[in-house]
Amino acid sequence: MIRLARCVFVSAVCLALFSAFSASAQQYPSKPIRVLIPSPPGGATDILGRLLKEGFSAQWGQPVLIDNRGGASGRIAAAYVAKAAPDGYTLLFTYGGVLTTGMPLFKNLPYHPIKDFEPVAMLAHVPTLIVAHPSFPGKTVADIIKMAKANPGGLTHGSSSPGSAGHLNMELFKQMAGIDMLAVAYNGDAPALLALLGAQVQFSSANLVAAMAHIQAGKLRPIAVATSERVPSLPDVPTVAESGVPGYESILFYALVAPAKTPRSIVRQLHEAVTKMKQSPDVKQSFERLGAIPFDMTPEQLSEFLKHDLEKWTKVIRTANIQPE
């Protein structure tokens, strides 16, 4: 009788705990969600992150707080989320470099870009492209390769600080094309773009959002896009891959991640909410205005994508002998 009573008691406790857990999962979210963004207000990451804020709030009726924590190449925001409780109430919306180039670029990274996060959803990517000053005689990727091989180190391309997206895009291009060119670094993307517009360098890698107005004004000439397919806004501009460097691809992507060990049920809810948000006509219009292209991946696909991208850029950085800070 005592043994039976104990079994009944244990069963009741287990049932109560299971019911409490189920109720908690079903009630998510039941309080405000904080989304950290690793850059100051006003940039592409911030603008896209605020679309998430509006989408989540509209679907769930819960406040969503945007917390801009720029600085240290995204490490401050990422480290905070990596150490947060894995309950779905502290999230990181980030550009790709925080997760895929930080480890090989910094000696003491305060988080592991793969182990410390639970991938939730890919939001979008912004195409990058090789653009030249109109005075540059080369018109195609093949021209650039031919000129670079004829005069190693003679061509100049601009970028922001070493390890930035524009810098690494060109390092990948040089490695895959087997050429040598002089990289000229500037203190940020804006100064690098101004240098290109002023013909201080011959060409560079730039994102479509920053370059499009100058292309339309005739102040920059697009050479090739770095995506796997041509982009709708520049249908006549070929890809780098089809122009002489097969397999070349470099995308500037934006994704949502949660702390590691966040329950799968919560990850699924967040993923479904992002997917639904992207169907909104207002969000589609915002993407079009920003030059962003919706990019759908399951959490599992995003996990594999991040691992592959980390391996890819680690190899590029080491081959280019970029020393970690």
CA distances 8 to 2, 14, 17, 22, 68, Å, are 10, 10, 14, 21, 51
CA distance 242 to 225: 10
Specify the pLDDT at position 22.
45
CB 102 within 8 A of CB 168: no
Do 258 and 110 belong together in one domain?
yes
CB 274 within 8 A of CB 254: no
Boundary-marking domain end, from 189, 213, 243: 243
CA distance 66 to 69: 10
Has residue 20 been placed in a domain? Answer: no
E-strand spans in 133-216? 156-159, 182-185, 203-207
Has residue 133 been placed in a domain? Answer: yes
CATH number of the domain at 301, please: 3.40.190.150
Higher pLDDT, 160 or 12: 160
Do 278 and 310 belong together in one domain?
yes
Do 120 and 257 belong together in one domain?
yes
Do 62 and 95 belong together in one domain?
yes
Kindly report whether the peptide bond that precedes residue 222 is cis, defined as omega within 30 degrees of 0: no
CA distance 256 to 34: 12
Place of tokens 């150490």: 83
DSSP, collapsed to helix, strand or coil, labels residue 255 as strand
Do 134 and 229 belong together in one domain?
yes
Do 213 and 136 belong together in one domain?
yes
Q: Residue range 217-235: average pLDDT?
A: 94
The pTM is what? 0.82
Do 208 and 106 belong together in one domain?
no
Residue 238's pLDDT band (cuts 50, 70, 90): very high
Has residue 97 been placed in a domain? Answer: yes
Has residue 72 been placed in a domain? Answer: yes
Taking only Cα atoms into account, the Rg of the chain, rounded to an integer number of angstroms, comes to: 23
Q: Residue range 10-17: average pLDDT?
A: 47
Do 57 and 118 belong together in one domain?
yes
CB proximity list for 116: less than 8 A, separation 6 or greater: 82, 259, 260
Do 212 and 263 belong together in one domain?
no
CATH number of the domain at 230, please: 3.40.190.10
Do 172 and 314 belong together in one domain?
no
Please write the tens of the pLDDT for every residue from 134-155.
999 999 999 999 999 999 999 9
Has residue 165 been placed in a domain? Answer: yes
Q: Which of 90, 79, 77, 86 is closest to 31 using CA atoms?
A: 90
Please write the tens of the pLDDT for every residue from 91-123.
999 999 899 998 899 988 999 999 999 999 999
Please write the tens of the pLDDT for every residue from 251-272.
889 999 999 999 999 999 999 9
Specify the pLDDT at position 41.
84
Q: Which of 104, 123, 36, 47 is closest to 71 using CA atoms?
A: 36
Residue 295: domain span: 32-125+252-319
Has residue 19 been placed in a domain? Answer: no
Phi and psi of 33, rounded to 5°?
Answer: -105, 135
Boundary-marking domain end, from 243, 276, 301: 243
CB 34 within 8 A of CB 3: no
Instruction: State CA 82 to chain mean position distance.
Output: 17
124-134 in b/e form (b: 16+ CB < 10 A) is bbbbbbbbbbe
Has residue 222 been placed in a domain? Answer: yes
Do 135 and 237 belong together in one domain?
yes
Specify the pLDDT at position 26.
59
Do 132 and 197 belong together in one domain?
yes
Tokens representing residue 254 in the block: 């934006």
Boundary-marking domain end, from 199, 216, 243: 243
- Calculate what percentage of the chain has a pLDDT beyond 70: 92
